[in-house]
Structure 1
Amino acid sequence: MIPTSDLKNRHISILHDWNKCIRSARVVHGETNIPR
C-alpha cells in the first residue's frame, strides 16, 4: 500500500498542475477574447 502522505502529496501536485493549466488557459482566452 502507498503511504497516505504520498497520496496527499500527489493529489496536491495534481491540483497544482490543474491550477497552472486553468490559469494559462484563462490568460489565452482573455488575450484573444474568444467566447466560450
Structure 2
Amino acid sequence: MKKNKAKERLEKLKNEVAEEIGIAGQKAKAALKEKNINKS
C-alpha cells in the first residue's frame, strides 16, 4: 500500500516536470524564432 502511494507521487511529479520542460521548450523556441527574424 505504502509503495503505491510513493509511486503515484513520483508519477505526478514526473508529469509536472515534463509539463514545465515542455513550456520552457516552447518559450525557448519562440525566443529563437524572434532572434532569427531580427537577424534577417
Same fold (TM over 0.5): yes
Which protein has greater RCO, CA pairs closer than 8 Å, 6+ apart?
A: 1
Q: Percent identity at matched positions?
A: 12
Larger radius of gyration: 2
Q: Which structure: greater helix fraction?
A: 2
Show the counterpart of 2:21: 18
In the other structure, the counterpart of 1:9 is 12
Which TM-score applies when normalising by structure 2? 0.73
Structure 1 residue ranges, 4+ long, deviating more than 6 angstroms after superposition: none
Measured on the aligned residues, the alpha-carbon RMSD in Å equals 1.4
- How far the C-alpha of 1:32 sits from its partner, in A, is 1.0
